[in-house]
Chain A
């Protein structure tokens, strides 16, 4: 049943059970919502789950929201025993985006927290396995933040890469030569090796060497190449 402002029975119960936890009530259609501080969160969630009058055993949804000056984590809970619902909102500062994990209370939180972490950069302390879920590893940015643009994505990416390179160049000691492209170097080396192998094979065949000897010849050529290159 839709809950209305302030009169929701679950909020009254909460007030009775946890009077020392400060929260702010926010009226939303469908569910009563409370805003709590990060420090009070573990104790609050534990009580919400385990107290028999509250008994919120079902975590429906865990979302992150980016309100440009701060982040926010929103938990939507439901109780199967009593049938009431609750939304818990936790503001998280941008400079220190850490929130305690809830996976020990509701296993459903596991994947939700992983996704919120990779999308917003909120770190859930105590999560058993905070790998990226939907995105690849090592992406470098958090897509759902408002600071990450949606349109003009290519220009943004070029800016991003330029800024990264500038940072790396600035961090390097003065007078060091420019960073070589590692990948291009590796490709060039592989190509050189292929050349050497091909030439060595042809020479071996011209000399009429058999399989085993041909292989030894090619190894020799490669070893000579490494000595020159190194």
Chain B
């Protein structure tokens, strides 16, 4: 009978503060993990360390000044953020963007997607435990892309190049040549990264089967982008709700099967290749000459009253801008619906039940940009 007595060992759950200062949290982000041994029992994400009031500040700027805030909100996929915002303004004003500007936007946007995914590869590799090798490989390619962007816009990061109605100025004369070089170089780099990480046994052992998500859960939690596609939902805003000239290009939408960390990684790796495909097609189709800005725009843009929710497929997911205008030259309300914010809100569901070491990897696989989460 003594054997049937259960001796309950009283233990206290440990609160681990994966604090705002931590090499692995991709920015200033805090997670309070309640841990029972090595398993996470509860997770409370605390955000807001990077909140700078971009939405309120945008209400005080005129429509062209607000583009700078979009850059700084989504600092890894700036062109996509600017694009969404410009789409919103153009929709309300009924502007028609010239062909050449559309192609420039597509090329820059897709290269920006590649750059953002490269950053993900580097940061994710470091989270999983590589000593820095994928980081170095990824950033070598990112440097090439950033040099190219610098040649076009003059900036390495905060481009401020798209404008409502087109782009700010025309591209340099050797744009096509440089772009082809970039595509070729980056393609090789992507294959190298693939060879380093994808079939690595230890990488597989860490990432496969970690926090799988069903499609119904993903949709309910508000996932978008690679997080959603990894679950098997073949949803890409460039196909489902096409904007700009995306209906002219031929590209595949990679999807995963289980929605686990490894599928998210694979989806992003494949998306890079598809983006390079789009860039090549755009280079071929681009008109050699033409205006890059819509006609008849005054020095101060006045947007007629109305509201619009414009959205684009940014590297992290659906980046939306809800713009309310009451006439006048300043937005009345500029709400930024950032993909990382919505993806991150489900962190508790993803992390609970896994180990502490895996919590870091799961956080890395969501691919957050803190400025976008906090605005």
Contact = CB atoms under 8 A, between A and B. Distances in A.
The answer to A–B direct touch (Cβ < 8 A) is yes
Interface of A: 1, 28-31, 33, 57-61, 63, 65-66, 74, 76, 80, 83, 85, 87, 106-108, 110-112, 132-136, 143-144, 150-151
Interface in B89-136: 91-92
A134 B309 contact: no
B57 interface: yes
B48 interface: yes
A60 B339 CA distance: 10
Sorted nearest first, the 4 A-B pairs with minimum C-beta distance are A108-B222, A134-B48, A111-B345, A63-B335
B346 interface: yes
B342 A108 contact: yes
B320 interface: yes
A172 to B, nearest CB: 35
Contacts of A106: 220, 222
A61 B56 contact: no
Given A29-B308, A58-B219, A61-B322, A111 B51 contact: no
Contacts of A134: 47-48, 51, 374-375
Nearest to A150: B60
A57 B220 CA distance: 6
Interface residues of B, number: 42
B220 A108 contact: yes
A166 B159 CA distance: 48
A28 B318 contact: no
B277 interface: no
A133 B375 CA distance: 12
Interface stretch (B69-77, B233-241, B258-266): B233-241
B56 A144 contact: yes
Nearest to B92: A29
Chain B binding surface, main DSSP class:
mixed
B333 interface: yes
B328 to A, nearest CB: 13
Nearest to B220: A107
Nearest to B318: A60
Contacts of B47: 133-134
Given A28-B308, A134-B47, A151-B60, A60 B320 contact: yes
Interface of B: 47-48, 51, 53, 55-57, 59-60, 91-92, 216, 219-222, 233, 235, 240-241, 306-311, 318, 320, 322, 324, 332-333, 335, 337, 341-342, 344-346, 349, 374-375
A31 B322 CA distance: 11
Nearest to B57: A150
A132 B322 CA distance: 22
A119 B60 CA distance: 17
Contacts of B51: 134-135
Given A28-B307, A135-B51, 14 more contacts: A28-B306, A29-B306, A33-B307, A60-B309, A63-B337, A74-B322, A76-B337, A80-B219, A108-B342, A108-B345, A111-B342, A132-B48, A134-B48, A150-B57
Contacts of A59: 222
Contacts of A135: 48, 51
B59 A150 contact: yes
B91 A29 contact: yes
Contacts of B324: 65
Nearest to A109: B222
A143 B337 CA distance: 18
A134 B341 CA distance: 11
Contacts of B59: 150
A80 B342 contact: no
Contacts of A112: 345
B106 to A, nearest CB: 20
Contacts of A28: 306-309
A156 to B, nearest CB: 13
A106 B219 CA distance: 9
A63 B235 CA distance: 23
A219 to B, nearest CB: 32
A107 B308 CA distance: 24
Central interface residue in B221, B235, B320, B345, by most chain A CB within 10 Å: B345
Given A30-B309, A108-B345, A65 B333 contact: yes
Contacts of B349: 107
B322 A76 contact: yes
Given A65-B333, A80-B233, A110 B345 contact: yes
Contacts of B375: 134
Contact of B235 (A80, A107, A151): A80
